């Protein structure tokens, strides 16, 4: 969610060496806003539920991945029970099914602040009006090494719950959760760090494929673009990844560089109509049996070009055949 800048040269990437990327799936129906998306298929009927920043955790649904998508409500029916500024405008919901219950971790904060919290709401159906807000799971304060936003739940190789989070400051961290998925059972441990000021990493997402765990993160300027004064090419949002045999890391990029030492392999960057892609997640589509890469991007071709108020949903399939995620057409 925070604004950030990353220079491609820091990661050994140079203009002209970046591979071409496939266009996102063409969507049907009217346009809609989405940012920091989480996409889940309901187990009972394979209906798609899309969750977004703002609107108290906005919910959109569809019966086909390509849409049309319909806004149906929000995760929270009112302000979060967390008593912090931003409780009326939650960010970056991350939704996971576990033992018949959907867990939605969300962020409460304001731009540029470390006075932040990760909250939790649960539901057995994901329908609006069925969510119970459990309040704060973990918080940060001014002066901490980390910022408690952009949460992501994963289960490690022992089946234990782990929450990855962070934005700016010292970047990405993990905490272990108790078996109730509401309590914290460890201190934060850093899993990724970009030493380039202003330490621009956020939006972590851990996904297991085969015997490996992949840590994805977003880096670059996410929003607030001015079409007449865009940042230097490559300084806008993009997605990187590292890989480990453990959900706890260490995560290394394709060249063997530790993510804690400004490592990262590029997964997705601006191309064509797609500008500043990030806020990524993954789910396995039960209909196509494909892993689907989910993200937001700023459409170049919109009523107000480069305006993130028109932030859109991006969907691509993933080819894992090389051992690394390569995006393809859905």
In the block, which residue shows the tokens 């000021």? 197
Residues 41-79: tens digit of each pLDDT: 999 999 999 999 999 999 999 999 999 999 999 999 999
Tell me what pLDDT residue 196 has: 84
Residue 223 predicted with pLDDT over 80: yes
Query: Predicted confidence band at 19 (pLDDT cuts at 50, 70, 90)?
Result: low
- In order of their start, the domains of the chain are 38-328 (2.115.10.20)
Is the per-residue pLDDT at 8 higher than 70?
A: no
Cα maximum dimension of the chain? 51
Looking at residue 148, what is its pLDDT? 97
Residue 49 half-sphere exposure toward CB, CA atoms < 13 A: 27
* Catalytic status, residue 36: yes
Least confident of 25-34, 197-206, 245-254, 297-306: 197-206
State the catalytic residue, choosing from 36, 133, 150, 201: 36
Catalytic residue, chosen from 133, 150, 202, 308, is 202
Asked whether residue 18 carries a pLDDT value surpassing 70, the answer given is no
Give tens-digit pLDDT for 71-87. Answer: 999 999 999 999 999 99
Residue appearing with tokens 């089946």: 159
Compute the average pLDDT of residues 114-135. 98
User: Would you list the DSSP string of 165-195?
Assistant: E-BSTT-EEEEEB-TTSSSB-S--EEEE---
Question: Model confidence at 169, in pLDDT bands (50, 70, 90)?
Answer: confident
Find the distance separating the first CA and the last CA of the chain, reported in whole Å: 27
Residue 176: strand pairing partners: 162
């Amino acid at each position: 969610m925070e604004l950030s800048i990353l220079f491609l040269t820091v990661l050994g990437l140079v203009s002209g060496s970046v591979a071409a990327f496939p266009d996102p799936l063409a969507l049907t129906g009217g346009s809609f806003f989405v940012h920091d998306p989480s996409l889940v298929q309901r187990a009972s009927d394979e209906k798609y539920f899309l969750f977004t920043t703002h609107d108290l955790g906005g919910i959109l649904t569809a019966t086909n991945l390509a849409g049309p998508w319909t806004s149906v409500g929000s995760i929270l029916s009112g302000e979060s029970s967390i008593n912090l500024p931003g409780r009326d405008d939650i960010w970056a919901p991350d939704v996971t099914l576990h033992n018949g219950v959907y867990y939605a971790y969300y962020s409460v904060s304001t731009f540029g602040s470390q006075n932040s919290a990760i909250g939790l709401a649960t539901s057995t159906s994901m329908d609006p009006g069925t969510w119970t807000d459990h309040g704060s799971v973990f918080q940060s304060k001014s002066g901490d090494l980390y910022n408690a936003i952009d949460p992501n739940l994963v289960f490690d190789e022992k089946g234990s719950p782990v929450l990855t989070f962070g934005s700016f400051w010292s970047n990405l961290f993990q905490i272990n959760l108790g078996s109730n998925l509401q309590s914290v059972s460890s201190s934060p441990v850093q899993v990724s760090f970009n030493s380039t000021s202003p330490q621009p990493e956020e939006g972590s997402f851990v996904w297991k494929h085969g015997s490996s765990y992949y840590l994805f993160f977003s880096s670059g300027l996410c929003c607030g673009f001015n079409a007449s004064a865009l940042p230097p090419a490559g300084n806008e949002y993009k997605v990187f990844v590292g890989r480990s045999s453990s959900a706890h890391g260490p995560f290394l990029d394709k060249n063997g560089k530790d993510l804690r030492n400004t490592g990262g392999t590029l997964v997705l960057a601006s191309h064509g109509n797609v500008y500043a892609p990030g806020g990524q997640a993954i789910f396995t589509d039960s209909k196509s049996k494909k892993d689907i890469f989910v993200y937001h991007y700023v459409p170049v071709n919109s009523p107000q070009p480069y305006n993130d108020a028109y932030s859109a949903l991006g969907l691509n399939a993933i080819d894992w055949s090389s051992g690394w995620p390569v995006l393809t057409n859905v």
